[in-house]
Amino acid sequence: MLCHLFLSLLSSFFSKFADKAKKRFEVPIEVPLPPAESPPDTEYSIDFVNEPQFGVLVKRNDTETVIFDTNIPGMLFSEQYIQISTRLASSNVYGFGEHTTAAYKHETNWKKWSLFARDSSTDSSSNLYGVHPFYMNIENDGRAHGVFLMNSNAMEVILQPAPALTFRTVGGILDFYIFLGPSPEDVVKQYLEVIGLPGMPPYWALGFQLSRRGYGTIEEVKAVTQRTEKAEIPYDVQHLDIDYMNNYKDFTFDEKRYANLPTFVDDLHAKGRKVVIVLDPAIASNKTLESNYPALDVGINRDVFIKVNGTYLEGTSWPGKAYFPDFSHPEVRPYWTQMCTEFRKSVRFDGLWIDMNEPSNFADGSLSGCSKNTLNYPPYGAGVLGSKLDGKLFEKTLCMDSVHHAGKHYDVHNLHSYYQANVTYRTLAIIIPGNRPMVLSRSTFPGSGRFVSHTLGENLSTWEQLRASIPGILKFNLFGIPFVGADICGFALNATEELCLRWMQLGAFYPFSRNHNSLNSKDQDPASFGKAFIDSVSKALYTRYELLPYLYTLFHLAHTEGSTVARPLLHEFPNDKVTWDISYQFLWGPALLISPIVEQIMGLKVAAILDFIPPF
């Protein structure tokens, strides 16, 4: 094993553990390189120890607090299993994702978290849509540091009461970046100097947005927009889910159910509103439904689809049988730009929502299964959802031995959404020149915030999920994706009037504010409720609009300096230990405290609630 230790800034450095005898996969994302020589004065010191085994010990010079110490028995470095542990400075650990958690601070009582991009419901503690192997540790004196493992393979982290932390990954190398802070905001800034600063959203994208899966016809969309206008509820953006498509195929629209869609979009533009449409990464491969499908034909001509054993991997998704573009392929950018350009000639969308991009596959691996090898059935499955019963790593995604331009799917699975985000962002910059792109992504990886905003995924209409949305938003600000929000009022199930009221009041202060629900759920857009509900929600939304200049300024600071937008109280008051455990209050920047109501009040109707307690 080879260990490289690179000193960089006064308050950060990185360490790389690799195999000296064999070239192993490394994440092919460029990051800033440190100086060739270490600076003369640093805030830390480094010791190498050999007993009981080789290890690296990093501590602060002034307080002698140990912040990284791998001199713990159990370090392993094999072909498909790498393990390393470090002692923690305290049990105050934040970060790691993507998962649904009830609190912002992690438990350290042997808690395991799997990191592997997965299409799944948020109603579990399993691995979800994105992968972020980054954590922040608040030391006992209130100082903060962060640790980032640049590795795109499936992994598992185990938090232990020592306190300590163990990383286990199925491949790649151990490429650690350590950030000395000393404040929480300093940690975020230093981390973003490595992975990239967040993109600057267009101003219109900060407005309230409406969406749902289940607008069966264009008339249903019109009805929602009309009743929202009549109720004088402010909103700026209308989303269109896969309902608008012809047989759920990208770059098409149903000319029967969504007749005159181009005209409808133009009408929304005339009223000052914007339109965001969804695109999934699965391209229909079944040509019997339609003799000419350019997205398929051009993709084949450019040879941009992911292959397995030399042929295109065929899975299944919303359009039925499907191929999956390889977004790391050099030909995929002109392909994606061509498809988006041609479709925008008909439907003049303003932004793109890239969904199902883990990538999600309704078949496990492919329609013909996957080969019985150690990539598809690794000896260790990192505890990911689907791997525990029969050891397969490809449940609801692609075969791990399928091939991308950037490498085997086994290595680049978690990078799929990052590559698509990059391509889609640059596509919008080309086809809508002079405008900042608006791309919303379900799946993310470190650095995705340069290109996309993020939705926390398919949550449930429950009080538990309302509460969990706050730690989720705070974690993604820590991850460098500050333009984030949960589906307001919940995606699945039916939101009660009281729950939706409180969620709309909370959601008015999500950085990304969108009400979105599912196919079989009842209407939950604000205008579908009664007058008391509309009046209360309008107050919250108009307050958001009054504060938009401040919110826009916070995004500018995040984009230029690397700060958070929505932040936990501990970022402003790290020396106040009470703040270390606060999960359901948060700040916009340093100056605005949001204290939402997150509990049901005796199941009262909205009108009674308004008499019982001020709603806002």
Residues 410/375, Cβ–Cβ less than 8 Å: yes
Interatomic CA distance for residues 350 and 276, integer angstroms: 6
For 26-48, the DSSP string reads ------PPPPSS--SS-SEEEEE
Q: Phi and psi (nearest 5°) for 597?
A: -85, 120
- Interhelix angle 531-546/497-507, rounded to 10 degrees, is 10
Whole-number Å distance between alpha carbons of 390 and 364: 12
Name the nearest CA neighbour of 387 among 66, 76, 155, 92.
155
Given phi > 0 = left and psi -120 to 50 = alpha, else beta, which region is 214? Answer: left
Structure tokens belonging to residue 275: 């339109």
**Nearest Cα to Cα of residue 401 among 360, 362, 365:** 365
Q: Which of 98, 185, 358, 487 is catalytic?
A: 358
* Cβ atoms 225, 271 nearer than 8 A: no
The C-alpha atoms of residue 76 and residue 85 are separated, in whole angstroms, by 10
To the nearest 10 degrees (0 to 180), the angle between helices 218-230 and 261-270 is 20
Check: CB of residue 463 under 8 Å from CB of residue 367: no
Report CA Rg, the chain.
Answer: 24
**Alpha-carbon gap, residue 14 to 572, rounded angstroms:** 27
Three-class SS state of 460: strand
Q: Which of 175, 350, 355, 395 is catalytic?
A: 355
Using CA atoms, how far apart are residues 599 and 299, in angstroms rounded to an integer? 50
Instruction: Identify any residues that bridge with 407 across adjacent strands, giving them in sequence order.
Output: 404
| C-alpha distances out from residue 439 to 39, 202, 425, 483, 558, Å | 39, 10, 6, 10, 17
Active site residue 229: no
Exposure string of 197-226, with b = 16+ CB inside 10 Å and e = fewer, is: bbbebbebbbbbbbbbbebeebeebebbbe
Q: Are 448 and 483 in contact (CB under 8 A)?
A: no
355 is catalytic: yes
- Residue 245 CB partners (closer than 8 Å, separation 6+): 252, 253, 254, 318, 319
Q: Say whether 143 sits in a helix, a strand or coil.
A: coil
- Residue whose C-alpha is closest to residue 563's, from 514, 488, 511, 513: 511
Cα distance between residue 565 and residue 556, in whole Å? 9
DSSP string, 537-552: HHHHHHHHHHTHHHHH
> What DSSP element (H or E) covers 84?
strand 82-87
- What is the SS3 assignment for 361? coil
Answer positive or negative: Cα dihedral of 93, 94, 96, 102. Answer: positive
Cα–Cα distance, 590 to 567 (Å, whole number): 8
In whole angstroms, what is the distance from residue 362 CA to residue 380 CA?
24
Active site residues: 355, 358
